[in-house]
Amino acid sequence: MISNGFLRIEPLQGPLEKISEYCWRIPASYKPGMRVPGIIYTDEKLLKDIQRDKAVDQVANVAFLPGIVNASFAMPDIHWGYGFCIGGVAATDIEAGGVISPGGVGFDINCGVRLLKTNFQYNDIKDKIRDLIFALFSSVPAGLGSKGDIKVSEKEERKLLVKGAKWAVENGYGVAEDLECTEEYGAIEGADPSAVSKRAYERGKAQSGTLGSGNHFLEIQVIDQLYDKTLCDKFGLNLGLVTIMIHSGSRGLGYQVCDDYTKSMIHCLQKYNINVPDRQLACAPVTSSEGQAYLSAMKCAANYAWANRQCLMHLTRKTFEKVFGMSWRKMGMHLIYDVSHNIARIEEHCVEGRNKKLCVHRKGATRAFPDQPVIIPGDMGTNSYLLVGTQKAMEETFGSTSHGAGRVKSRTAAAKSVNLNTLLKELDSKGIIVKASGRRTLVEEAPEAYKDINEVINVVHNAGLSKRVCRMRPVGVIKG
C-alpha cells in the first residue's frame, strides 16, 4: 500500500519505506527514543534475506545512541551481530555528547582485507596453484587459536601496538612502500598500550602473522572482469592477472579488548543517563574517561591487526619466492591496498552545512573515501571485487560502503545443512583448490551460507557508494 508517498512493505521487524531502488528507510517514529531514522542500502531481492533475522531491528536500536547524526546506516551485507548489526555504520557528534560503543566496532577489531598483485598470468602458472596452496598452508599458521613463529615479549608487544605495520617493516617483515598502500599508513595515532589488559597481551603475544579461523582466508585469485580500464591501468591490473587476497584481523588480542570494554561499559549507561534498548549497545561519551580508554585500546588492537596482515603478506611473499625461485619484487608482488572494516574513527564530516568532528563506527563496513581503493571479498566459492570510493558516499554514508557478502545462514545452520563431500566436489568443479585446518570451517563458510556477492556489489555500485574497478575469482583458498 502507499503511505505518505512511499511504498510500504510489511517486514518481519518494523516498517520499511522504499525511498529509491537501492535505499529503504526505517522512520524515526518506529520506536520511541529513536533520534534519527534508519537507512538500509539494498534492493528488493536482498531485502528478503535481510529480513530473516533481527538485523533490521538492530539498525533501529542504534538510532537511540546519544549524539548520532543523520541516520543509523546499514549496507546490503547486513546481518545480525552483537549490538550493532554487521554491516552497520553510525556517526556521533563528539561535541554534542556523542558516544563510542564497542558493539559498533565488533570483537575482531580492524578485521580487514589486503590485496596484492603479481606479474603472473593465470595460464602461465595454473599448474603451480596446487603447490602454492600446499606451501602456503604449511607456512601460514591458520585455525582457531593458531600461533606463529613471530613471538614477542610484552615490552616489544607494546611497541607493536603503537607502531602497527611499521613495527613489522622495521623488523624485516616487509618494506616501507607497503605502508604507503595501507590505511593510516598501517598505524592509527593515539594508541595507548596501558589501556590494554594483561589477558589481551597474553593472547596476542604469539599470534602475529597468523590467519585465524572462521571467515578469515588467504586466496590466490584471478582477475576475470574489468569494469574501469583507466583505473585498472592505474593499478597495473589486467584480465587474467593473478592476485592474492588476505583477510584477517587482530586475533585474540582484539577479541579480548572488546570483551573487556563491553563488560566495563555497562555501568556507563546509568552513570551518563544513557537509554538504549539493548545492553549490547553499552557505550560512553567519546570525551569521557571510559570512552577515551576504550578508544585508546581499540587503536592498539587496530595497529596489531595491521601488523598481523603485514606479517601475513611477508610470509606469502616468502612462500612464492620458495616455489618460483625468484624474488617477490621480480614477481611484482606489490600491495594494492589494505582496508579495515571493524573500527571506529574520529573524522571530520559536513553535517547540515557545518564541518563537525564525528566518531564514525564502521562494523562490517569499509571506508570509501573518494578514489580510495575498496576491497570487498566474497566467499571461498565466488567472486571478490576491487572498487573505489565516491563523493556520494561521503555525502550520504560518511564515506562508507559494504565489507563482504554477508551471512544468510549462521555457522551452526550451515554446519547442519552442508555436506562436506558435496561442497568439495562443487569447489573442485570450479577449479578451486582448498586447504583448511578443520572440516567444520569449510561447511560453516560454504557459499550457500552467504548472500550473492554480485548482488551486494550491484547495490553499492548503483547506489553510488563505491565504483567497480575489477572482479576476481578464487583458484586457491586457505581457511583457518
Distance in angstroms (rounded) separating the CA atoms of residues 28 and 72: 10
Strand-pair category, 466-479 with 433-436: parallel
Beta-carbon contacts of 89 under 8 Å, excluding residues fewer than 6 positions away, are 72, 73, 74, 75, 360, 361, 362, 363, 365, 397, 398, 400
Q: Looking at residue 12, what is its pLDDT?
A: 39
Residues recorded for the chain: 480
Q: Which residue among the candidates 247, 341, 361, 403 is catalytic per the annotation?
A: 403
Distance CA 439, CA 300 (A): 33
Q: What is the largest CA-CA distance in the chain?
A: 67
Beta bridge partners of 473: 222
Q: Show the DSSP H helices in 164-288 as ranges.
A: 165-170, 176-179, 198-204, 229-235, 251-264, 266-271
Instruction: Name the pairing type of β-strands 38-41 and 72-79.
Output: parallel
Burial call 386-399: b when 16+ CB within 10 Å, e when fewer? bbbbbebbbebbbb
Look up cell 587459536; give the residue: 145
pLDDT reported for residue 245:
98
Q: Which pLDDT belongs to residue 11?
A: 41
User: DSSP assignment of 84-134, as one string?
Assistant: SPEEEEEEEEGGGT-EE-GGGT-SSTT-EEEEEEEEEEHHHHGGGHHHHHH
Quote the pLDDT of residue 208. Answer: 80
- Give the list of residues 6+ apart from residue 20 with CB closer than 8 angstroms, or none: 463
**According to the model, what pLDDT value does residue 5 have?**
33
Cα–Cα–Cα angle for 108, 423, 122, nearest 5°? 80
Helix residue spans in 15-82 (DSSP H): 44-50, 55-62
According to the model, what pLDDT value does residue 144 have?
A: 58
How far, in whole angstroms, is CA 335 from its chain's centroid? 18
List the chain pLDDT tens, one digit each, 480 residues: 233 333 333 443 457 999 999 999 999 999 999 999 999 999 999 998 888 889 999 999 999 999 999 999 999 999 999 999 999 999 999 999 999 999 999 999 999 999 999 999 999 999 999 999 999 999 987 755 566 677 778 888 999 999 999 999 999 999 999 999 999 999 999 999 999 999 999 998 878 888 887 789 999 999 999 999 999 999 999 999 999 999 999 999 999 999 999 999 999 999 999 999 999 999 999 999 999 999 999 999 999 999 999 999 999 999 999 999 999 999 999 999 999 999 999 999 999 999 999 999 999 999 999 999 999 999 898 999 999 999 999 999 999 999 999 999 888 999 999 999 999 999 999 999 999 877 888 999 999 999 999 999 999 999 999 999 999 999 999 987
Question: Residue 119 to residues 115, 362, 436, 468: CA-CA distances in angstroms?
Answer: 14, 34, 27, 22
Q: Can you give the pLDDT at residue 52?
A: 83
pTM of the predicted model as reported, rounded to 2 decimal places: 0.94
Position 146 scores a pLDDT of 60
Give me the residue label for grid cell 587496530: 302
Nearest to 436 by CA among 477, 381, 479, 476: 479
Q: Is 403 a catalytic residue?
A: yes
- The full DSSP string for 127-177 is GGHHHHHHHHHHHS--STT---SB---HHHHHHHHHHTHHHHHHTTSS-HH
Query: Which CATH code, of 3.40.50.2020, 3.20.190.10, 2.40.50.100, 3.90.1860.10, is assigned to 112-479?
Result: 3.90.1860.10
